[in-house]
Amino acid sequence: MTILESNGFHPRTRDEYIIKGGIRTKRVVRDIFFMSDEQIRLIRRFMSGFLYKTDTIFSTNTRRLPLSVIVGIDNTRYTFPIAFILSPPNQPNPLNL
């Protein structure tokens, strides 16, 4: 998370907690969602409504986590990356849409 923040990204995580005997014993990060200031600026400028497409790329990092790329479509029909999601393989859609 610190590496993402130091490179100008705004990361968020989706966590789950392991509970044993009614006590939270462990936090497990399920997904890491991140976007940059420039991506936020483009979203605010070009996204009327919420039209996006997503695709997942495999084997792009040392931990072999699938990288989902969400792209928006601007008013000239060009696509631009809105955000990125790293999630473990064999997980349901992290967007839950």
pLDDT score of 96: 52
Rounded Cα distance between 66 and 45, Å, is 29
pLDDT score of 66: 82
- The residues pairing with 72 across neighbouring beta strands, listed in sequence order, are 52, 80
Rounded Cα distance between 89 and 36, Å, is 24
Type of residue numbered 32: I
Q: Calculate the CA dihedral of residues 82, 87, 60, 7 and round it to 10 degrees.
A: 50
Domain parsing of the chain, residue ranges = 2-86
**Which residue ranges in the chain fall short of pLDDT 70?**
48-55, 61, 63, 89-97
Q: Calculate the CA dihedral of residues 7, 91, 57, 28 and round it to 10 degrees.
A: 20
pLDDT score of 92: 55
